[in-house]
Amino acid sequence: EQPTALQQQFPEWKCDSTMAQGTDWGWTCCPKGWKKFQRSCYFLSQDKMRWTESKQNCSGMGSQLVVINSRAEQNFLSGQIRQSNEPKPDNLYIGLTAAKVGHWQWVDKTPYDVSAAFWQPGKPSNSPDERCVIIHRDSELPSNWNNVKCLMHHRICEAAVVTV
């Protein structure tokens, strides 16, 4: 098989044995330093970039800005942010943005579902210059999303686990 862009980027991997359907044993792998949860690998950046550059950076690693699909995923990521190494990132971009006020769109075109959103109380604001979304480390869980200006923040990239 052709290696994926993610596989080509990283020389070191961490793999866990898994029981696949039936009785097949297999391995699910993430690049070393990434966090695994369910069928995804996550990268929490130590550096800061604007949202557009964050999106490009994730793409360049064969991943995308994270698309949060469940409360379990939201809780996992919030926990990872709170226990991440120094310097502790306080705001991390996710893959949600608005082309215009109130029109939220995930980077992978997953439909935005307000019932599966984790906004801080009173958010999102209707400010026309706050079109990017971050997870805020110290907000009450699970509601820790905030819409912000698309300035310099950390980011969370997500890629599918590699199964071998």
Return the closest-CA partner of residue 145 out of 130, 158, 157, 134.
134
Asked if omega into 142 is within 30° of 0 (cis), the reply is yes
Residue segments in the chain with a per-residue pLDDT below the cut of 50? none
CATH code (residue 127): 3.10.100.10
Tell me whether residue 128 is in a domain.
yes
34 in any annotated domain: no
* 121 CB neighbour count, 10 Å cutoff: 7
Name the domain count of the chain.
1
Question: What does the pLDDT look like over 39-68, one tens digit per residue?
Answer: 999 999 999 999 999 999 999 999 999 999
What is the domain extent for residue 132?
43-154
Does the global pTM surpass 0.75?
Answer: yes
